[in-house]
Amino acid sequence: MTFAELVAGSVHDAAPALVGWTLLVDGVGGRIVEVEAYAQDDEASHSFRGPTPRTAVMFGDPGHLYVYRSYGLHWCANVVCEERGRGAAVLLRALEPTHGLDVMSTRRGLDEPRLLCSGPGRLTQALGITSEHGGADITAPPFELLPPVAPVEVEPSSRIGISRAVDRPWRYVEAGTSWSSRARRAA
Q: Which residues bind DNA (CB under 7 A)?
A: 36, 38, 44-47, 49, 52-55, 58, 66, 69-74, 76, 78, 89, 91, 108, 110, 115, 119-123, 159-164, 181, 184-186
Q: Which is nearer to DNA, 67 or 154 (CB)?
A: 67
Q: Which is nearer to DNA, 71 or 149 (CB)?
A: 71
User: Least distance (Å) from DNA to the CB of residue 177?
Assistant: 16
Secondary structure in 3-state letters for the chain? CCHHHHHHCCHHHHHHHHCCCEEEECCEEEEEEEEEEECCCCCCCCCCCCCCCCCHHHHCCCCEEEEEEECCCEEEEEEEECCCCCCEEEEEEEEEEEECHHHHHHHHCCCCHHHCCECHHHHHHHHCCCHHHCCCECCCCCEEEECCCCCCCEEEECCCCCCCCCCCCCEEEECCCCCCCCCCCCC
Q: Which is nearer to DNA, 99 or 159 (CB)?
A: 159
User: Least distance (Å) from DNA to the CB of residue 150?
Assistant: 27
